[in-house]
Amino acid sequence: MNPTTTTTDTVTNRVVKPGAAAGLAAALVMALFWMLVSAAQGAGLFTPLKLIGATFYAGAAMTYDTAAVLFGLMAHLAFGLAFGVIFAALTRRVRAAQTLVAAGLAYGAAIMLLMTYTVLPWASPILFATIDTAWFFVFHLVFGLTLPVALELRRRQARRVHAWVPPHEARSRP
């Protein structure tokens, strides 16, 4: 470690930034998949985001389309970002791709159980009442599969950026 690099910088660059980026990517992929399934079932493309937005608008969420969709998207991405950082912290020493993917799938399943049986009943009763548990499980597996892939891509990108040495510094090294 560079003598001027602090532990906070290391945690930020190795855990927080990659985890946040991976969490956002996984949350977007999950939301898009959920939206496509919803549209294919005839419920409407933006229904999942409206249902998440119902956390803030209660029963009126289905009538306030734009606001409910935006609040639903922001809430979903915020949770995805937070869960991504937690996953990055938990798996910071895991290097085997198979282990990381297995951990991601287990993590997605655990998030589904946590959200379905502890958070949604009191935070978003409308979403809780309308979810199809089997599909909800599949959506969270999509999150859990996307998360480690995005995390590893982000970590590789960070290693390349930090390994790069400007030409003027490379000449001055012994």
> So where are the chain's domains?
10-41+79-159
Distance CA 142, CA 134 (A): 13
Min mean pLDDT across 5-19, 21-35, 119-133, 139-153 is at: 5-19
Number of other CB atoms surrounding residue 15 within 10 Å? 20
H-type alpha helices, the chain: 7-11, 17-40, 47-57, 65-90, 97-114, 120-123, 125-130, 133-163, 167-172
How does residue 14 score in pLDDT terms, banded at 50, 70 and 90?
confident
The amino acid present at 31, given as its one-letter code, is: A
Distance CA 106, CA 111 (A): 9
Tokens of 34: 């959920």
DSSP state of 12: I
